[in-house]
């Protein structure tokens, strides 16, 4: 069975016949279906390392975009949240990485931003993380400015790499190898997309059915979710969307462990608020469906990986089909 899993080709969960929800997806079924949102990634493997950087780069970030953060459990290192809470905006790209590289990534992001704006005297870099210490020698803090700048410079509107890519290279979730996953949904007046760095414990649940797995002896128990939309929402409404993304972790089997840093950041590329609260049912459904499918993609697109302290096996596709 282990050899069969190693030979298994990564496939998105929809291609395995697992259809999450009822709303239609965007053309790529990815966060990059939201107009003006790009993703770039840098991946490090070998010599005891399985880690990287994932950059979510929305057009117009320098002019500040409405945003909000939801904290499911604050056992994490999410840089830049207090200013987002205070002002209701982001003013930089959002980067994801491994726990002990968070601060180096934030400094490298700051350098990248200052190089592009010689007049800037205050910037609020936003960097999130999950702990990839099971498969990567996290104490080496291997991420350099070159890795960060490469992820930012190569950001595109294409379908992002999923599974063992970027910040998800060394992550595990729900007993299996996990990583980066993404998905999107269309609603009447726009698009909602999500990208996830999955690295948390619990019992994998697919469309309400549990998929038992032997628990991994892994330190990582966190989840970073980024939600993007082009709907005309204000910061308060985006906070409501972000909270739904955290709630949706329960749909895939999270046990919300006390050592888990579970965060969602939601932003819109539309600076003209005008959405009625009574109309949020569609966006709420879109964010829960897109997160759930993104998380499953992070698993089914991952490959069995042997790293610093052990091996994390990919989820057998035949258990899901």
Q: How far is residue 13's CA from residue 282's CA, in Å, rounded to a whole number?
A: 23
Q: Which two tokens stand for residue 277?
A: 């609260």
Q: Which two tokens stand for residue 122?
A: 């205050």
Query: What's the longest Cα–Cα distance across the chain?
Result: 58
| DSSP strands (E only) in 99-245 | 126-130, 172-173, 176-177, 180-187, 190-199, 205-206, 209-210, 222-229
Q: Which of 222, 254, 290, 298 is catalytic?
A: 222
Active site residue 260: yes
Q: How far is residue 105's CA from residue 143's CA, in Å, rounded to a whole number?
A: 7
Q: Which of 137, 254, 262, 290 is catalytic?
A: 262
Active site residue 189: no
Q: Which two tokens stand for residue 104?
A: 């180096």
CB-based contacts of 276, cutoff 8 Å, min separation 6: none
Q: Which of 184, 198, 254, 260 is catalytic?
A: 260
Q: Are 187 and 23 in contact (CB under 8 A)?
A: yes
Q: Which two tokens stand for residue 228?
A: 């993007």
Q: How far is residue 297's CA from residue 282's CA, in Å, rounded to a whole number?
A: 22
Active site residue 254: no
Q: How far is residue 165's CA from residue 52's CA, in Å, rounded to a whole number?
A: 7
Give the pairing of strands 94-98 and 49-58: antiparallel
Q: How far is residue 171's CA from residue 305's CA, in Å, rounded to a whole number?
A: 10
Phi then psi for residue 177, to 5 deg, are: -65, 135
Catalytic residues: 222, 260, 262
């Amino acid at each position: 069975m282990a050899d069969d899993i190693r030979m298994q080709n990564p496939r998105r969960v929809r291609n395995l016949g697992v259809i999450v929800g009822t709303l239609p997806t965007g053309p790529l079924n990815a966060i990059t279906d939201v107009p003006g949102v790009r993703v770039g990634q840098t991946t490090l493997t070998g010599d005891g390392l399985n880690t990287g950087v994932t950059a979510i780069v929305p057009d117009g970030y320098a002019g500040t975009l409405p945003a909000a953060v939801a904290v499911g459990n604050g056992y994490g290192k999410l840089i830049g949240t207090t200013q987002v809470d205070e002002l209701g905006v982001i003013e930089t790209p959002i980067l994801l990485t491994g726990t002990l590289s968070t601060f180096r990534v934030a400094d490298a992001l700051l350098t990248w931003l200052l190089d592009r704006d010689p007049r800037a005297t205050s910037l609020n870099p936003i960097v999130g993380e999950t702990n990839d210490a099971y498969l990567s020698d996290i104490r080496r803090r291997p991420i350099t400015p070159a890795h960060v700048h490469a992820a930012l410079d190569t950001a595109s509107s294409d379908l992002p790499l999923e599974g063992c890519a970027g910040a998800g290279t060394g992550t595990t979730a729900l007993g299996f190898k996990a990583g980066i996953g993404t998905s999107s949904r269309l609603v009447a007046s726009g698009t909602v997309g999500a990208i996830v760095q999955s690295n948390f414990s619990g019992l994998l649940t697919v469309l309400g059915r549990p998929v038992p797995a032997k628990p991994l002896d892994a330190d990582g128990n966190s989840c970073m979710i980024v939600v993007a939309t082009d709907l005309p929402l204000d910061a308060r409404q985006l906070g409501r969307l972000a909270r739904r993304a955290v709630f949706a972790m329960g749909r895939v089997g999270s046990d919300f462990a006390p050592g888990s840093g579970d965060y969602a950041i939601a932003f819109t590329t539309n600076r003209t608020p005008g959405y009625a609260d009574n109309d949020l049912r569609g966006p709420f459904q879109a964010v829960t469906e897109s997160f759930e499918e993104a998380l499953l993609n992070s698993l089914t697109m991952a490959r069995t990986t042997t790293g610093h302290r052990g091996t994390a096996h990919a989820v057998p596709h035949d258990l899901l089909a």
